[in-house]
Amino acid sequence: MKRELYLMHAEICKTFSNATRLEILNLLRNGELTVSDLVKKTGASQVNVSQHLSIMKGKGILISRREGANIYYRIANPKIVKAFDIIREVLNEMK
């Protein structure tokens, strides 16, 4: 069981090892956004944003819902934002 938890932790950390994914997480901290919203805010292509969203959804970090032609994404667990913020604090202290 302990080893399995380490493996799960490592997989989630791999998911967060991409700057675009971190930017998307930061943008989603205040609520859900559509793919189009995220494309506008990040400046990345729709294909690129969609790939990152798919990876994070597949890992259970994000959840989505469809409303008409739009798909809205949001963070699955608010503790993810807390972890994000703690890591940022540590990095700021290291400067």
The first and second tokens of residue 18, run together, are 């991409």
Count up the domains in the chain and report the number: 1
Question: What pLDDT, on the 0 to 100 scale, is given for residue 58?
Answer: 95
Helix/strand/coil for 74: strand
pTM of the model: 0.90
Question: What pLDDT, on the 0 to 100 scale, is given for residue 1?
Answer: 73
Positions in the chain short of pLDDT 50: none
Q: What is the rounded CA–CA span in Å between residue 48 and residue 21?
A: 10
**Structural domain of 68:** 2-94
Question: What pLDDT, on the 0 to 100 scale, is given for residue 37?
Answer: 98
CATH of the domain at 82: 1.10.10.10
Question: What pLDDT, on the 0 to 100 scale, is given for residue 93?
Answer: 94
